Amino acid sequence: MISRRHLLTGATLLAASAAIPRAWAQAPSGPYKLDPLPYAPSKNEPHIDAQTMEIHHDKHHAAYVNNLNAALAQNAEAAKMPLQDMLANLSKVPESIRTAVRNNGGGHANHTMFWQIMGGSGGEPSGEVKAAIDRDLGGFQKFQTDFNTAGERQFGSGWVFVTVTRDGKLALVAKPNQDTPLMEGQRVLMGNDVWEHAYYLKYQNRRPDYLKAWWNVLDWNRIGQRYAAAKAGTLTV
């Protein structure tokens, strides 16, 4: 009796642990890898603390990459597609791995963009990006207010993005979970992660404070490069 009861408990625990994202696990072989952060984790202090950056990149982003590779290990055909093409054609991805690709492929694309556009010193955009914000988003101040409001209103987990067309036209869009405008074949200029894991250590429940502080770490030079790449048709994720 005792041994059977213990065996059942052990089996239940094993099943439960298998469902937990295993950031600590050895990455399965696969087409995707986690690039290092392009700057020190402390670079965005004091607005985003180093520990949040480390856990966010080393654990959360790593888990998306590992889980994406694990899903694609079951499908050689899907594994050959560039990430942005796979996300834009989820209906062509086998149903057995579609949800895993959507969540983890979206997570990988979103976080790859996210690290790129931070590590800067904030301030205001200039040049073509400033002109596009003035033309399409009502100017920088209105853009910031509308962007932060969209972030506050996103129920649960998700992202706020600025999309950019090949003609350079900008639009604001919020998405749940790890969904991305890439899934509609669009391109993303920039975006902010409003999952609690992005801010909870420092800001707890104060998402609006995090949203306001985030602007201080943007790298507008890098965002300008993404804008130019979008217009040249070379922006991927």
Long-range pairs of 93-101 with CB within 8 A, sequence gap ≥ 24: 97/71, 97/72, 100/67, 100/68, 100/70, 100/71, 101/68, 101/71, 101/72
Bridge partners of 6, per DSSP, are none
Other residues' Cβ atoms within 10 Å of the Cβ of residue 198? 24
| Interface with Mn ion (CB under 5 A), residue from 129, 193, 220, 230 | 193
Binding region for Mn ion (CB under 5 A) out of 2-10, 19-27, 190-198, 221-229: 190-198
| Shortest distance (Å) from residue 92 CB to Mn ion | 26
With binding defined as CB under 5 A, does residue 179 bind Mn ion? Answer: no
In whole angstroms, give the CA distance from residue 222 to residue 218: 9
Nearer to Mn ion, 177 or 225 (CB): 177
Binding region for Mn ion (CB under 5 A) out of 37-45, 67-75, 154-162, 195-203: 195-203
| Shortest distance (Å) from residue 60 CB to Mn ion | 5
In whole angstroms, give the CA distance from residue 30 to residue 65: 9
Nearer to Mn ion, 103 or 144 (CB): 103
Note the residues at the interface with Mn ion (CB under 5 A). Answer: 193, 195
